């Protein structure tokens, strides 16, 4: 607890929770809870074999836990010959 101007305040009530920013196909989505990459792809309804996920400028796997304050990009994989 912090004492400020004679009032007791909890640091938990003062802290603002930052959402996870997810960029996919030019749109930004906000998620407030941490989740696995696999869960994120399910939420976005995208095929995990056809997409890569980059969190905070690092490529991550589907078992990686994304934090609420992460900056995430979902990138469609394109192949051809």
Domain architecture of the chain: domains with CATH = 2-76 (3.10.20.30)
What is the C-alpha separation between 76 and 8, in angstroms, rounded?
Answer: 50
pLDDT of 15 reads 52
Cβ atoms 70, 60 nearer than 8 A: no
Q: Which residues contact 35 (CB under 8 A, 6 or more apart)?
A: 43, 65, 66
What parts of the chain have a pLDDT lower than 70? 1-17
* Residue 19 confidence (pLDDT): 85
Ranges of H-type helices in 1-81: 11-14, 37-44
pLDDT at 41: 97
């Amino acid at each position: 607890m912090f004492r400020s101007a004679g009032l007791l305040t909890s640091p938990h009530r003062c802290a603002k929770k930052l959402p996870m920013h997810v960029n996919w196909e030019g749109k930004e989505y906000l998620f407030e809870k941490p989740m696995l990459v696999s869960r994120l792809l399910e939420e976005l309804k995208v095929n995990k074999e056809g997409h890569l996920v980059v969190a905070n400028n690092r490529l991550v796997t589907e078992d990686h836990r994304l934090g609420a304050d992460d900056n995430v990009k979902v990138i469609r994989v394109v192949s051809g010959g």
